[in-house]
Structure 1
Amino acid sequence: MVHIKTANSRSKSSVKRGILIGFLVITLVFSLTGFAQDTTSRTTEPCYRCRLRGLLIGETVVYSATIYGLSKAWYNNPLTNFHFFNDNHEWLQIDKVGHMLTAYQIARISAQAYRWTGLTDKKAAIYAGLTGLIFQTPIEILDGFSPEYGFSVGDMAANIAGPALYTSQYLAWGELRIQPKFSFHNTPLYQVRKELLGSTWHDRWLKDYNGQTYWLSVNPSAFGSRDSKFPKWLNVAAGYGIQNMVAAEVPKSIEIGYRPYRQYYLSLDIDFTRIKTRSKTLKTVFFLLNTLKMPAPTLEYNGRNGFRFHALYF
């Protein structure tokens, strides 16, 4: 029996991301309070244990309810035998990069929440890495039992890569030097297939992969000597995007009249967490801003037009 995914099923990736973003918002409520404590003077007082217990219980209850609601609302047909589906050829793999970034952000935000409970940076990073993996896995398993979808090994690999990138940096360096980030701009392609790429702006930033760019933002000063003159807050970012994908598969996009291609970018960025400030409010704002790649002059290369320069790209 051949398992076939429809165009509607491919929007599942954006739905899953939307659900996980909801979880991120909830965890963020806990994590932002972590900026109010001095991370250099953690103790083992019982209140910290209570905080950790409360955080774990809260995450478990909220996420269990979310998974239950998803299983009832999205999986219309009864679950069947577990099976796989290979979707690695779809969307020029940018959806897999999106999985990685989402899992990374779950780990990053969760780590701040764990710091609030009194854990050291390394222990928080380990807990956060496990959280990023655990909170993605049940959704993928549900896909595996759904007759409409199937377990995607590619998705699962990306779900592992995100938390691994976060935790491994704290274990190796005790800090973040390489950070996945996200940017989005509107494209006119959604008008071709609004049901797939989104009819509203809110839908499009989740569904229209043509407008999404995923970045690895690297801090050069962290790899240099301490007396380096390179600004500590200035990053160099490499990005990946796609264009003319109006269907999940390249041949289907070509049939509709669009020839897809990949885009590669090189740009500057800002690591806001390396900007020193005593303001708790600014620390919170900087923490949130570090999810996004900042607009900056950008060099693009793609297989269709070669090199292009953008005075300001987001």
Structure 2
Amino acid sequence: MRLLLFFWLCIGSGGGLAIAQYADTAQVNKKKLTRIILAESAFYVAGMSYLQFIWYKDHEAVPFHFYDDHKGYLQIDKFGHVFGSYLESYAGYHLLRDAGVSRKKSLMYGGALGFVLQAPIEVFDGLYEGWGFSWSDVVANATGSALVVGQELLFREQLVKYKFSFWRSPYAAQANGYMGRNFLQSLFLDYNGHTYWLSAPLNKLVWHETLPPWLSVAAGYSANGMFGEFENLRYYRGVWLPETARYRQFLLSLDVDWTRIPTRSRFLKKVFNVLFFVKVPFPALEVNTQGQLKGYWLYF
């Protein structure tokens, strides 16, 4: 759901992100700013309507309550909250800067956008059975926005990109629909296939300007063996599920920073800017909590 909200925001309200060296003295483009505000408002209303009338339609409304899920899915869900908030804040900041809004106001309104957009979702969760208001979700959402704002304040750029990669895990086919019955459903339900990355340009880290500016190194986190939120289910909808061990994975890989690829094509520049959050498949090393060291010729 949070990924969908981001795509609505990024594509619907801006038609692409213009990422450049913005001048603090630029004039505000009132037409562009108006389009951004109207589009973001429309998609926000659409998103909230989707939550109320579709997402929660099969759940009974209950008094506001809390839910402690900070250990759920070995924290993969929390990394996902950080990711959604980061994307929305990143998009909000750059869209406002592209419209000529000052850096200070763009950070204040655009940089906080992820936290602001996610907050009503957390409140809705607290009002429906099967969900609940989660303080760990709120902290994760705040972390995503802080990652954008903090880097702009420290470096005046997003030196470290927060990225995502997904590949449907082999567990999905064994879960009788618990992790989704196709690739799109599994994107939201198969947490075993999620990997979250912090990616930074190598030439900035080792101070070696001969390296191409787009070549990055990425540290990733994933988890595996999960057939349930806190512990594995053994039986689901009439089918016995395989017995597996839950474990964490820590990864190291190379990456490409799309926004640093030089091009004179305006079309390609827009494409590259929208792809800023996508981790490129590369060979990778894995260390996991089962004490294993693994290598992958290609990891995504």
TM-score by length of 2: 0.88
In the other structure, the counterpart of 1:73 is 54
Q: Does 1:228 align with 2:214?
A: no
Q: Does 1:161 align with 2:143?
A: yes
SS at the partner of 1:35? coil
Select which of 142, 148, 153 maps to 1:171: 153
In the other structure, the counterpart of 1:13 is none
In the other structure, the counterpart of 2:297 is 311
Assess, with a 3 A threshold, how the Cα gap between structure 1 residues 73 and 32 changes in structure 2: closer, same or farther. Answer: closer
SS at the partner of 1:145? coil
In the other structure, the counterpart of 1:17 is 2
Select which of 99, 119, 128 maps to 1:117: 99
Q: Does 1:134 align with 2:134?
A: no
In the other structure, the counterpart of 2:86 is 104
Return the alpha-carbon distance in structure 1 between the equivalents of residues 73 and 188 of structure 2.
13
Does the 8 Å CA contact 1:121/1:170 hold for their aligned counterparts? no
More helix per residue: 1
Q: Give the AA of the match of 1:230.
A: L
Does the 8 Å CA contact 1:121/1:174 hold for their aligned counterparts? no
Assess, with a 3 A threshold, how the Cα gap between structure 1 residues 38 and 231 changes in structure 2: closer, same or farther. Answer: closer
Assess, with a 3 A threshold, how the Cα gap between structure 1 residues 141 and 41 changes in structure 2: closer, same or farther. Answer: closer
Give the Å deviation of 1:305.
Answer: 5.3
Single out whichever of 139-148 and 247-256 deviates more from structure 2: 247-256
Does the 8 Å CA contact 1:144/1:151 hold for their aligned counterparts? yes
Return the alpha-carbon distance in structure 1 between the equivalents of residues 72 and 20 of structure 2.
45
In the other structure, the counterpart of 1:58 is 39
Encode CA deviations 1:91-147: one digit per residue, 9 max, x unaligned: 001110011011111112222321232124554333222211111110110111223
Return the alpha-carbon distance in structure 2 between the equivalents of residues 267 and 126 of structure 1.
33
Unaligned runs of at least 5 residues, structure 1: 1-15
Does the 8 Å CA contact 2:164/2:279 hold for their aligned counterparts? yes
Q: CA RMSD in A?
A: 2.5
Does the 8 Å CA contact 1:270/1:294 hold for their aligned counterparts? yes
Select which of 190, 206, 215 maps to 2:197: 215
Return the alpha-carbon distance in structure 1 between the equivalents of residues 98 and 286 of structure 2.
40
Single out whichever of 263-272 and 76-85 deviates more from structure 2: 76-85
Give the Å deviation of 1:224.
Answer: 5.3
Give the Å deviation of 1:311.
Answer: 1.5
Runs of 4+ in structure 1 over 6 Å off: none
Single out whichever of 274-283 and 158-167 deviates more from structure 2: 274-283
Single out whichever of 124-133 and 70-79 deviates more from structure 2: 70-79
SS at the partner of 2:178? helix
Return the alpha-carbon distance in structure 2 between the equivalents of residues 268 and 220 of structure 1.
9
Select which of 130, 147, 150 maps to 2:132: 150
Unaligned runs of at least 5 residues, structure 2: 236-240
Number of residue pairs aligned between Structure 1 and Structure 2? 294
Single out whichever of 50-59 and 164-173 deviates more from structure 2: 50-59
Q: Aligned runs of 1:32-43 on 2, under 5 Å?
A: 32=15, 35=18, 39-40=22-23, 43=26
Does the 8 Å CA contact 2:68/2:136 hold for their aligned counterparts? yes
Q: Does 1:288 align with 2:274?
A: yes
Assess, with a 3 A threshold, how the Cα gap between structure 1 residues 198 and 214 changes in structure 2: closer, same or farther. Answer: same
Q: Give aligned-pair identity as a percent.
A: 33
Single out whichever of 79-88 and 90-99 deviates more from structure 2: 79-88
Single out whichever of 32-41 and 199-208 deviates more from structure 2: 32-41
